[in-house]
Amino acid sequence: MGTWGLEGRVARKRAWKLAALSLLIAGATQAATPDRDAIKAQVAQRHDASVKALQEWIALPSIAAESRNSQQGAEYMAKLAREAGFQHVEIVDTGGKPGVYATLDAGAPTTVGLYFMYDVKQFDPAEWSSPPLEGRIVDKPGVGKVMVGRGATNQKGPEMAFLTALHAIRDAKQAMPVNLVLVAEGEEEIGSPNIGKLVLRPDIQAALKKSIGVFMPMGLQDGDGTVTVNLGAKGVIELELVADGNAWGRGPSKDVHSSLKAMVDSPAWRLVKALDTLVSDDGNTVAIDGYPKAAPLTADERAMIAKSTAARDEALAKRNLGVPHWIDDLSWQQANERLVSQPTINIEGLVGGYTGVGGKTVLPHRAVAKIDMRLVPPMTRDGAVAALKAHLAKRGYGDIAVNVSGGYDPTSTDADSRLIQSQLAVLRRDGFDPLLWPRIAGSYPGFVFTQPPLSLPAAHFGLGRGGGAHAPDEFFVIESAHPKVQGFDGAVMSYVDYLFELGRPTGVATGR
């Protein structure tokens, strides 16, 4: 999961209430980072070593879908945490791919949670212009020097920048301003099927419960430098719908010659007929009987979207995506409202019978649709799966298997939480005018933090910029050609500043 499709989109801040809070925070700002210059010097000194460390991490791809390097990836993640100063570091058996749990006790009054992923998306080297595991530094016209590699921006680049911040604070002999509790998983890209077994293990849950919230490092900047602070994410379900002659009790139990179609039923046609019932004729609206309803956008959310829509270039977005028209020829504003507010059911992949070059005259015994469904509040993963199964059964397709491989509920965090307000304070101090966005259309397992029993704020944070997540030529900017976009060292400093802001004494010390 982990990408949002469109780069940061947003709305300025939320009216007078946020403005008032910002003023309060801004007053105490200068004291936030004790010897910022010393830390910055350390960041510069470490630059080459950090870039090399990121390349080495990229060279070890952990891919849960392929059961590739998961144990090694967890061990590497643990090593990186130990080197960055975490005193307790532990690999956690989740029943799936291992997780990592680590704590850094700075003796500080404030504790902050961290959510990392050490896994990356699958890749096909043939589609890349430079080797996906090399982390080669490439000149990207108009962008600067970027590192190209699988995981460069999703999520190793930002995570390495964060770890570099810890090194730099220590090397500059500054006191760590907050205690840290890190959970890192190796199954983010398959829908975090075991995230609860990591985060909610009683001792880990107890450690996280002491935190003011949890964040994940991420380069939040657009190409023009705009920074977007997101207040939540859609939920997601990944599943396969499988029509199979064996389960159906009709059609063949193995692939047979296609001429037999005249006397033998076809599981592939059955899959097509079942899929057809799931969406409207244009393929755009979920048509599952009794499907949970989405909450309408609030006035605040609509306002955020309106401001972001005005600030962003529709033609550029369409060009980047290769999309000439939004659904129903909606306006830019309407399309963005739909993006934030509507659940989706998407065909990720179709696989059945002969899939090679040309044709092969078989009647397949099995056909599969790979599906992802995005959820908005108050929908839940379990509610959506139950509705899908009930729908198929009611329409006479009860034999079609619904194999859920991962997924989770949507997640939301209050803009007034200290986790978010500290982000806004740091960004404004750095000269940014951050935008707020109600909910990214992509997904991440923030629900495990924001829902009971933890009920914590959860968000992403970081300056810097990347692109191509889940796609070929994924990159993260190392040296930026744009004055407002931060390179790797600037990203590191954003984490330094955020940690000191979070650790700053405040009248709302336990406030969320």
- Figure out which of the listed residues 19, 175, 351, 508 binds a copy of itself, where binding follows CB under 8 A: 351
For residues 129 and 346, which CB has a smaller minimum distance to a copy of itself in the complex? 346
Which residues 140-199 are close enough to bind a copy of itself by CB under 8 A?
Answer: 190-191
Question: In 10 A of CB 382, how many CB atoms?
Answer: 12
Distances (CA, A) of 346 to 21, 286, 324, 350, 375: 40, 10, 19, 11, 12
For residues 130 and 320, which CB has a smaller minimum distance to a copy of itself in the complex? 320
Give the shortest CB-243-to-a copy of itself separation in angstroms: 10
Give yes or no for residue 355 binding a copy of itself (CB under 8 A).
yes
CB 65 within 8 A of CB 190: yes
For residues 255 and 416, which CB has a smaller minimum distance to a copy of itself in the complex? 255
Give yes or no for residue 361 binding a copy of itself (CB under 8 A).
yes
Give yes or no for residue 352 binding a copy of itself (CB under 8 A).
yes
Which residues 365-384 are close enough to bind a copy of itself by CB under 8 A?
Answer: 365, 367, 370, 372, 374
Residue 437: both structure tokens together:
């966005």
- Figure out which of the listed residues 12, 88, 389, 470 binds a copy of itself, where binding follows CB under 8 A: 470
Q: Which stretch binds a copy of itself (CB under 8 A): 175-183, 203-211, 315-323, 420-428?
A: 315-323
CA pseudo-torsion sign 448, 419, 410, 3: negative
Q: How many residues bind a copy of itself (CB under 8 A)?
A: 100
Cis peptide before 292 (omega within 30 of 0): no
Give yes or no for residue 125 binding a copy of itself (CB under 8 A).
no
The whole-angstrom separation of Cα 218 and Cα 228 is: 11
For 470-496, the three-class secondary structure string (H helix, E strand, C coil) is CCCCCEEEEEECCCCCCCHHHHHHHHH
The whole-angstrom separation of Cα 310 and Cα 314 is: 9
For residues 108 and 330, which CB has a smaller minimum distance to a copy of itself in the complex? 330
Cis peptide before 125 (omega within 30 of 0): no
Give the shortest CB-341-to-a copy of itself separation in angstroms: 8
Give the shortest CB-360-to-a copy of itself separation in angstroms: 6
The sheet carrying 179-185 orders its strands as 88-92, 99-104, 179-185, 111-117, 214-217, 458-461
Give yes or no for residue 363 binding a copy of itself (CB under 8 A).
yes
Quick note: the x/- pattern for a copy of itself over 441-460, rule CB under 8 A, is: xxx-----------------
Give yes or no for residue 467 binding a copy of itself (CB under 8 A).
no
Quick note: the x/- pattern for a copy of itself over 323-342, rule CB under 8 A, is: xxxxx--x----xx-xxxxx
CA pseudo-torsion sign 237, 451, 151, 323: positive
Quick note: the x/- pattern for a copy of itself over 212-251, rule CB under 8 A, is: ----------------------x-x-xxx----x---xxx
For residues 177 and 191, which CB has a smaller minimum distance to a copy of itself in the complex? 191
Give yes or no for residue 56 binding a copy of itself (CB under 8 A).
no
Radius of gyration of the chain (CA): 24
For residues 135 and 352, which CB has a smaller minimum distance to a copy of itself in the complex? 352
Give yes or no for residue 62 binding a copy of itself (CB under 8 A).
no
Give the shortest CB-286-to-a copy of itself separation in angstroms: 10
Question: In 10 A of CB 360, how many CB atoms?
Answer: 12
Quick note: the x/- pattern for a copy of itself over 404-433, rule CB under 8 A, is: -xx---------------------------
The amino acid present at 429, given as its one-letter code, is: R
For residues 108 and 327, which CB has a smaller minimum distance to a copy of itself in the complex? 327
Give yes or no for residue 96 binding a copy of itself (CB under 8 A).
no
Judged on CB neighbours under 10 Å (0-12, 13-18, 19+), 483 is exposed
Quick note: the x/- pattern for a copy of itself over 16-45, rule CB under 8 A, is: ------------------------------
Strand 214-217 to strand 136-140: parallel, antiparallel, or no bridges (unpaired)? unpaired
The whole-angstrom separation of Cα 14 and Cα 11 is: 8
DSSP 459: E
Give yes or no for residue 268 binding a copy of itself (CB under 8 A).
yes
Give yes or no for residue 260 binding a copy of itself (CB under 8 A).
yes
For residues 185 and 489, which CB has a smaller minimum distance to a copy of itself in the complex? 185
For residues 33 and 230, which CB has a smaller minimum distance to a copy of itself in the complex? 230
The whole-angstrom separation of Cα 460 and Cα 423 is: 9
Distances (CA, A) of 486 to 116, 221, 346, 430, 483: 21, 8, 34, 11, 8
Give yes or no for residue 257 binding a copy of itself (CB under 8 A).
yes
Distances (CA, A) of 360 to 336, 351, 368: 43, 14, 18
